[in-house]
Amino acid sequence: MTFTSDMVAELNLLLKFPNKSMMQGLKIHHDAEPAVIAAAKRLFDKGIVTLPDGGYLTDLGHDLFEHAQVVKMALTHQ
């Protein structure tokens, strides 16, 4: 199985969340790119973020954020 364009959009959005504090979140505005708005809604539907327009990462979201960072570093490390 390969990453779909929706998965890539979700991973990219996930990596934009602040990771310094559990009390920091992300707000996706109504005028954001439609793909970003849709990705935020899918992350919410999957229980990864707390609100359909971003919010905070859930416990699952924090775990996935860490894994996404590892994948990103592995693919960009030379």
Predicted local confidence at residue 78, as pLDDT? 64
pLDDT along the chain (78 residues), means of 10: 95 91 86 96 97 94 94 87
Show Cβ contacts of residue 50 under 8 Å, excluding neighbours closer than 6 positions: 25, 44, 56, 57, 58
CA distance 8 to 1: 13
